């Protein structure tokens, strides 16, 4: 296997998470489902983006005024505007609404990103953890009772499969709503010195957290080569 160049290709999965106030939001997705005739499981086929609502976790009694920039592909207006200013490609934003009673005021607007960019993941290393992708629905099937690892060393983007969008979905592996982003997004986050975002969840040991260092690519490249040397 040859590693992807990091020159603009999306090497990492965009994963945005953190502690409070990140745990204060619950997004309710309305998904379209069907039964897969090959692996006989109920699979998600799409989202009803116009019906997504966000509520505050009922366990939280007080909400910090600094709302999260994003929770997965639910992004705040602030982050959306930044993406639009920077001509980030690969998504269609759908406004979402708050649900439930709460006495928190000045709740920010959030948007559910419908991801239109596409890329394939390299699945050859899945065998190392006894996993394979269902040919029909792309769900990953693993060893019963064991957590799905997406390959012991996790996965990389398949060379030549990227459509060039800044925000992508995996075309050949079902990862739910997890967005895969280009290096350019991480550069934008680094340039704006944004907090509370992290990238690289799918490749353990390679994750980087905001505030992202300007030379993050060098660090990630070294870690990736160390991890995949000889593969
Ligand atoms: Zn299936």
Report the chain (231 residues): mean pLDDT per 10 consecutive residues.
Answer: 48 52 72 92 89 80 71 86 95 89 72 92 80 90 79 71 89 85 84 74 62 78 71 57
CB within 8 Å of 230: residues ≥ 6 apart: none
Residues linked to residue 180 through DSSP beta bridges, in sequence order = 13, 168
Say how far apart CA 71 and CA 77 lie, in whole Å: 12
Distance from chain centroid for Cα 184? 15
Ligand 1 centroid to residue 33 C-alpha, Å: 12
Ligand 1 centroid to residue 141 C-alpha, Å: 9
Say how far apart CA 60 and CA 228 lie, in whole Å: 42
Ligand 1 centroid to residue 138 C-alpha, Å: 6
Closest by CA to 149, choosing from 168, 177, 128, 171, is 128
Q: What is the model's pTM?
A: 0.82
Ligand 1 centroid to residue 188 C-alpha, Å: 37
pLDDT of 230 reads 60
Ligand 1 centroid to residue 160 C-alpha, Å: 25
Ligand 1 centroid to residue 169 C-alpha, Å: 18
Cα separation of the two ends of the chain: 6
pLDDT of 210 reads 66
Ligand 1 centroid to residue 150 C-alpha, Å: 16
Say how far apart CA 197 and CA 212 lie, in whole Å: 9
């Amino acid at each position: 296997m040859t590693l992807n160049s990091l020159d603009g290709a999306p090497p990492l999965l965009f994963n945005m998470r953190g502690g409070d106030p990140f745990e204060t939001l619950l997004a309710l997705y309305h998904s379209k489902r069907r039964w897969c005739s090959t692996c006989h499981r109920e699979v998600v086929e799409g989202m009803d983006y116009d019906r997504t609502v966000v509520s505050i976790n009922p366990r939280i009694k007080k909400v910090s005024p600094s709302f999260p920039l994003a929770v997965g592909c639910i992004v705040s207006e602030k982050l959306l505007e930044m993406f639009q200013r920077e001509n980030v490609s690969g998504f269609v934003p759908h406004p979402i609404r708050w649900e439930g009673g709460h006495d928190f005021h000045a709740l920010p607007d959030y948007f559910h990103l419908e991801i239109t960019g596409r890329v394939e993941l390299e699945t050859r290393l899945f065998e190392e953890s006894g996993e394979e992708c269902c040919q029909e629905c792309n769900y990953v099937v693993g060893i019963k009772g064991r957590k799905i690892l997406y390959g012991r060393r996790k996965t990389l983007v398949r060379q030549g499969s990227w459509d060039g969008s800044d925000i992508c979905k995996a075309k050949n592996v079902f990862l739910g709503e997890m967005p895969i982003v280009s290096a350019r997004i991480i550069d934008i986050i680094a340039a704006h010195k944004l907090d509370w975002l992290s990238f690289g969840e799918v490749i353990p040991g390679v994750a980087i957290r905001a505030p992202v260092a300007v030379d993050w690519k060098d660090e990630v490249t070294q870690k990736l080569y160390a991890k995949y040397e000889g593969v």
